[in-house]
Amino acid sequence: VPVSQLSLAAAKEEIAPLRKQLTQWGKEYYEQDNPSVEDYVYDRAYQRLVELETRFPELKSADSPTQRVGGAVTTQLTKVHHDIPMLSMGDVFSVDELMDFNRRQQENGDVTVAPEYNLELKIDGLSLSLVYENGKLVQGSTRGNGTIGEDVTANVMTIKSIPHQLPEPLTLEFRGECYMPKASFVKLNQEREAAGLPVFANPRNAAAGSLRQLDPKVTAKRDLATFMYYVPEYQKLGVTTQAESLDRMRELGFSVNPNNRVVHSEEEIAAYIDEYTKQRDQLSYGIDGIVEKVNDLATENALGNTVKVPRWEIAYKFPPEEQATIVRDIVWTV
């Protein structure tokens, strides 16, 4: 039933099991690295919840999955506090929706947003925070629930693409994505199958399961890689745009994805999406969409964040490939 035709009572009845279901799927995905449904199933249900809460604001609740980042920290790994929260990201599922998002952002009177965006690939892994003191790597952590993450310092020390020492004595946090290349994922699952062990559902879960290990020796045997893409305290790097911050990270020796592009028009955005929709299968790592970021960092700062997502970036998610027809038949109630 379209949300516009629902009564408040009917919406209330639908929302409770929907939140329960999403919370359960979130636990399996974020905490156990073992999802039981495909992402598009989760995304559809999540979208329905957003629509219900938008249409009936009186049913909003601080403990809804729409107000929370990630999952709880349930492992025995030491907890880390993120002074600057690690957030989730808003998403859109069509180019039209993306253009609407941009228009709304530009028409919001409070902050003037120039139409200059840095487009990046949305790497399908898990977020990673790296802290350096005087140029030396001192801490690696996961996002967790955004405020409390897990300490994976010993594990990140085993990842080849992460520099232990920077060429400059910076005291700074760098953020990015930890992922497992597609070929390494296939190989790992073959080995696990041969050893009678459960296989990972996808490269994202394999990366998360491999990074969130108590024993760094296990992580060291897994082929993990990184692409760094964000410096919260960008001022300390002396940069003014997102594209420059990526260049600076490259200079510092981080692995940074080479496919970002600065664009100024709807046509250029649509062309980038089209290009990577076609090319994604040829990449050696998984991507689940593209990320559009306001390129000017002072504007980013002025736009700020909601409790869950930054207002200066948005993910365009690729459509699920074969599953398009199944989606229509899914029943959300439990």
Using CB under 6 A as the binding rule, whether residue 280 contacts ligand NAD is answered as: no
The whole-angstrom separation of Cα 174 and Cα 129 is 6
Binding mask 314-333 for ligand NAD (x = CB under 6 A): -x------------------
Q: Is 33 annotated as a binding residue?
A: no
User: Per DSSP, which regions of the chain are E strands?
Assistant: 79-81, 91-92, 117-123, 126-133, 136-142, 148-150, 172-179, 225-230, 261-263, 287-294, 313-317
Structure tokens, 273: 């999406």
Q: Is 221 annotated as a binding residue?
A: no
The whole-angstrom separation of Cα 52 and Cα 331 is 16
Q: Which residues pair with 277 in a beta bridge?
A: none
109-168 residues in contact with ligand NAD (CB under 6 A) are 120, 122-123, 127, 143
122 is annotated as an active-site residue:
yes
Using CB under 6 A as the binding rule, whether residue 25 contacts ligand NAD is answered as: yes
Q: Is 42 annotated as a binding residue?
A: yes
CB of 304 to ligand NAD, least distance (A): 16
Please identify which of the residues 20, 27, 122, 217 carries the catalytic annotation. 122
Using CB under 6 A as the binding rule, whether residue 88 contacts ligand NAD is answered as: yes
Q: Which of 155, 170, 324 is nearest to 238 (CA)?
A: 170
For tokens 């700062």, name the residue.
301
Using CB under 6 A as the binding rule, whether residue 43 contacts ligand NAD is answered as: yes
| CB atoms closer than 10 angstroms to residue 95 | 14
Asked if 148 and 68 count as a contact pair (C-beta separation under 8 A), the reply is no
CB of 9 to ligand NAD, least distance (A): 28
CB of 169 to ligand NAD, least distance (A): 27
Task: Provide the b/e sequence for 203-228 (b: ≥16 CB within 10 Å).
Answer: bbbbbbbbbbbeeeeebbebbbbbbb
Question: CA 308: distance to chain centroid?
Answer: 12
Looking at 31-39, 73-81, 110-118, 213-221, which segment touches ligand NAD (CB under 6 A)?
A: 31-39
CB of 52 to ligand NAD, least distance (A): 18
- Closer of 6 and 327 to ligand NAD (Cβ): 327
Q: Please enumerate, by residue number, every residue annotated as part of a binding site for NAD(+).
A: 39-43, 88-89, 120, 143, 177, 293, 317
What are the catalytic residues?
122
**Contact residues for ligand NAD (CB under 6 A)?**
25-26, 28-29, 35, 37-39, 42-43, 70, 88-89, 120, 122-123, 127, 143, 177, 229, 291, 315
